[in-house]
A and B are shown apart, each in its own frame.
Chain A
Amino acid sequence: GAVVSQHPSRVICKSGTSVKIECRSLDFQATTMFWYRQFPKKSLMLMATSNEGSKATYEQGVEKDKFLINHASLTLSTLTVTSAHPEDSSFYICSARVPSGRGGLGDTQYFGPGTRLTVL
C-alpha cells in the first residue's frame, strides 16, 4: 500500500507558540490530503481538506486562522497550529488520497502515523 509519513511524531510546546506538522506521501502523488484531529478513545474528526495548489476547505467550526494549511506540492501538506493553547493538545493525523482510477467509484485514503501535540 501507499506510505504516508508525518513529522514530528511528538511535540511539546509552550502556550502561545506555533507548531508546524508535515505530512508527506512517500511513494505517490496526492492531489488531496486530509487533516484530522482525534481525542482519546474517540473517532476521527475531519478538520480540513487540503488540495494541492489551492486553498484548503475547512470543516464547520474549525478556525482557518488558527489551523493554517499549506499544500505546496503533490507530496507535502503542512498544518500549522498558531498561538497554540492547552486545549489544542491532541493527536493530529493526516491522510493522503490515492485516486482509484475506477471511474469515480471511490478513492482510497492512506493515513500517516499521527502527531501527538502537547501544549503546556
Chain B
Amino acid sequence: GENVEQHPSTLSVQEGDSAVIKCTYSDSASNYFPWYKQELGKGPQLIIDIRSNVGEKKDQRIAVTLNKTAKHFSLHITETQPEDSAVYFCAATLGAGKSTFGDGTTLTVKP
C-alpha cells in the first residue's frame, strides 16, 4: 500500500519568515495530494491541494509543488503569521480511494 513520509516533525520559524514542509510518497499511481491544517481540538481543514497533472499551485501565501518523478510534494508558507501555528498534514490519494496521511508537522510561528 501507499506510504507517506513527512518532514520535519516540528518546525519553528520567526514571524515573517517562510516555512517549508516536505512529503514523499511510495505509490506512483497516487494522483491527488491535499494539505490539511489542524488546530488543537479541531478537525483538519483543507488548505490547498494539487492534482497529478499540475506541478505547482498557489493560493495567496500558500503554495504546493509536486514532483511526480521524484514522488515528493511540498507545502510552502510565506510571510508566516502567529495564526499559522498548527499541525499540518499531507496526504496522498489514489484515484477515488482512501488517502494516506503523513505523520504531521507541528509549526510554531514566533511573534
In the assembled complex, how far is the CB of residue B59 from the closest CB belonging to chain A, in whole angstroms?
12
Shortest B34–chain A CB gap in Å is: 7
What number of B residues sit within 8 Å (CB to CB) of A? 25
Stretch from A11-19, A43-51, A62-70, A71-79 contacting the other chain:
A43-51
CB within 8 Å for A106 and B95 given contacts A43-B102, A113-B43: yes
Q: Is the CB of A114 within 8 A of B41?
A: yes
B98 contacts which chain A residues (CB < 8 A)? 34, 46, 49
Task: Tally chain A residues at the interface, Cβ within 8 Å.
Answer: 29
| Residue of B whose beta carbon sits closest to that of A5 | B43
Segment among B13-21, B49-57, B68-76, B77-85 that sits at the interface with chain A:
B49-57
Q: How many A-B residue pairs have CB under 8 A?
A: 66
Contact pick for B93, options A41, A42, A106, A111, CB 8 Å = A106
A39 to chain B, nearest CB (A): 12
Binding site for A on B (CB under 8 A): 31-32, 34, 36, 41-46, 49, 51-53, 89, 93, 95-96, 98-99, 101-104, 106
A residues apposed to B, CB below 8 Å = 1, 4, 6, 32, 34, 41-44, 46, 49, 93, 95, 97, 99-100, 102, 104-114, 116
